[in-house]
Amino acid sequence: MGLTRHLINISYNAPYYPLKIDRNAVYIFNPGFLIGFDKLLFRDIHIFWRSVQAFYIDCAIQPAMYTGTMIFKQPMFQFKKVSIGAGFGFGIDIRRSWKKYADPEIDSRLFKDWGNIEGIIGPFCEVEFLYWINEKKQWVLNIVPGLPVIAFVTAGLRIKL
């Protein structure tokens, strides 16, 4: 489950965002799922290599996917069953092109036009909040800042296999 929080005024695109939570499309629900893999690199300092693959519905209800990899530190801070971690890495976000909308008002300036798809490639960071249910299950809240335009928040359950 994802939530986009636009940090700039995008109300001109609001008519194209059917899953918006408010009239000006500041908050938009983005359903989808994410599969991740964490590999412990340094046990004594809790450094992981993380790779993620997400499939979701973007703001304009277009199918989209995200692939990323990063170096992650978890926990950076821990108190009882709650911990906070952070990471930095590189990723690619791809979605179906918004060119299908005949209206030139719809704004897609952050994504590069690759024909029938649009994408953005670059560095990213993530902050993660965990609530440990037990050794194999944790509630997870992730925040990915897409400054200066958006902040993306996901919530879910992590299960260790």
3-class DSSP string for the chain: CEEEEECCCCHHHHHHCCCECCCCCCEEEECEEEEEEEEEEEHHHCEEEEEEEEEEECCCCCEEEEEEEEEEEEEEEEECCEEEEEEEEEEEEEEECHHHCCCCCCCCCCCEECCCEEEEEEEEEEEEEEEECCCCEEEEEEEEEECCCEEEEEEEEEECC
pTM of the model: 0.82
pLDDT tens per residue, range 54-74: 999 998 899 999 999 999 998
Q: What mean pLDDT comes out for the span 40-54? A: 92
Residue range 2-159, CATH number: 2.40.160
Q: What mean pLDDT comes out for the span 15-40? A: 92
Q: Which of 47-56, 82-91, 134-143, 150-159 is predicted least confidently?
A: 150-159
pLDDT tens per residue, range 96-112: 988 776 565 566 667 88
